[in-house]
Amino acid sequence: MERRIGFIGLGNMGYPMAENFLKKFGQVMVYNRSQQKCLDLQKEGASIVSNLKELMESNDIIGLSLPGPKQVEPVVEELLENGKEGQIIMDFSTISPALAVSLSNKAQEKGIHYYDMPVSGGPAGVRNAALSIMIGATKDEIEKNDLMPYLETIGKTFHFIGGRGNGQAIKIINNYMAFATQVINGEALAMADALGIDEDTFYNVVTTSSGNNMILKGKMNKVKEKDYQPGFALDLVVKDLELARDCCNNLQMPNFTLNTGLQMYRLAQRKGCGALDSSSVIQVIRDLNKKDE
Ligand code: NAD
């Protein structure tokens, strides 16, 4: 029997995810905090509901892509209250490893499977079914529940990291690396400005030399065109770096670069960049470094 799929959170990532599920399986039922996104997807053929109870009662598999732990925890708890044995929750949001473990344990008490499956690759990665997905489960578990057809609808590279929470752990490490590097990229561009190296020369040389990095290339057009429509909102970077910092605090580990990077994004938030793309931090760093005449 065809399994029914529901989806929660129709943002930059969730909307194209739900859209892909709709195209591939001919059906998706959606719920979002702001109704307009649901209405948009309804025009493409999705069915919509106005509460989580109905979504959970009507579907076998639920996907979610919510901003962070503050939204995920109450939503999943409500799903579990209304769920039944055998249902599956695929959580594509980035949250803390500890919360993923705790939600999975609560789910298990009801015979429900909760998997942390954070992703990398942005909205374009979803649309091209090219995401990298970091799965807090073994390949065996995922295949036993026949989830690969769903994951292949949005992703291309699948990392099975074993136990629950491990998908989130590696995702947070990845984002720490990417977003701390983006601060270095901003400081490098500010140096180029000060030394009279124009932007095109900077990118031409560095993207073909040892200073190159994935986020430099990935955000190059946005930076050059000053197009700070998200993409990946800067507020979400602060959330991810705070998750990484909390992990280090729990481990009583120092984290110098992480903390410095986090302060730059906080500063950018205070300059009004929270809802803009993460790469707007580069503009803030360049502006801060402009010499007063
Ligand atoms: P977003 O802010 O664009 O979307 C979140 C959506 O969730 C919005 O539509 C919002 O209305 C909805 N929402 C919020 N609270 C809700 C609730 N309680 N119930 C129902 N709907 C609710 O965020 P996004 O960029 O799509 O990111 C989603 C997740 O994916 C985050 O955890 C983020 O860290 C992660 N992520 C994002 C990217 C990216 O490039 N944007 C890449 C990888 C991972």
Average pLDDT over residues 217-234: 96
120 lines ligand 1 (CB under 6 A): yes
Q: Which of 171, 219, 222, 239 is catalytic?
A: 171
CB 170 within 8 A of CB 94: no
Going through the chain in order, the beta strands assigned E by DSSP cover: 5-8, 29-31, 47-48, 61-64, 88-91, 113-116, 119-120, 131-135, 155-160
pLDDT digits (tens, 9 = 90+) for 86-122: 999 999 999 999 999 999 999 999 999 999 999 999 9
For 156, phi then psi, to 5°, come to -125, -30
Helices (H), 45-96: 52-58, 69-81
- Tell me what percent of the chain is helix, strand and coil, each rounded to the nearest 5: 55, 10, 30
- Share above pLDDT 70 across residues of the chain, in percent, rounded to a whole number: 100
pLDDT > 90? residue 256: yes
191, pLDDT greater than 80? yes
**Which CATH number fits the domain 169-288, given the four candidates 1.20.1260.10, 3.90.470.20, 3.60.10.10, 1.10.1040.10?**
1.10.1040.10
Separation of CA 261 from chain center: 18
Is the CB of 122 within 6 Å of ligand 1? yes
Encoding tokens for residue 23? 């195209």
125-146: pLDDT as tens digits: 999 999 999 999 999 999 999 9
Residue 67 Cα, ligand 1 centroid: separation in angstroms? 4
Confidence at residue 15, expressed as pLDDT on a 0 to 100 scale: 98
Mean pLDDT, residues 49-63 = 97
Cα separations in angstroms, 95 against 69, 229, 290: 5, 23, 36
- pLDDT per residue as tens digits for the range 73-82: 999 999 999 9
Tokens of 246: 């909390």
* Domain residue spans of the chain: 5-162, 169-288
DSSP string, 197-210: --HHHHHHHHTTST
Query: How many residues are recorded in the chain?
Result: 293
CB 245: neighbour CB atoms within 10 A? Answer: 18
Residue 293, pLDDT score: 82
CB atoms within 10 A of CB 7: 28
* Active site annotation includes 171: yes
Determine how β-strand 119-120 pairs with β-strand 131-135. antiparallel
**Residue carrying structure tokens 């009004």:** 272
**CATH class entry, domain 5-162:** alpha beta
User: pTM (2 decimals)?
Assistant: 0.96
pLDDT-derived band of residue 242, with 50, 70 and 90 as boundaries? very high
What percentage of the chain has pLDDT greater than the value 90? Answer: 98
What whole-number distance in Å separates Cα of residue 44 and Cα of residue 146? 26
Q: Which pLDDT belongs to residue 2?
A: 87
**Ligand 1 site, residue 278, Cβ cutoff 6 A:** no
Mean pLDDT of the region 186-193: 98
**Which of 65, 63, 21 is closest to 45 using CA atoms?**
21
Residue 94 to residue 67: CA distance in whole angstroms: 7
CA 192 / ligand 1 centre spacing (Å)? 34
| Mean pLDDT of all residues in 231-239 | 97
pLDDT of 124 strictly over 80:
yes
What is the overall mean pLDDT for the chain? 97
Q: What angle do CA 277, 282, 234 make, to 5 degrees?
A: 30
* Over residues 210-214, mean pLDDT: 97
- pLDDT of 1 strictly over 80: no
Q: Give exposure, 31-59, as e/b (b: 16+ Cβ within 10 Å).
A: bbeeeebbeebeeeebbbbeebeebbeeb
Check residue 183 and give its pLDDT: 98
Residue in 20, 66, 154 to alter for ligand 1 test, most ligand atoms within 8 A of Cβ? 66
Residue 289 has pLDDT above 90, yes or no: yes
The pLDDT score that the predictor gives to residue 177 is: 97
Distances (CA, A) of 210 to 192, 213, 214, 286: 16, 8, 12, 22
From the alpha carbon of 239, which atom of ligand 1 is closest?
34
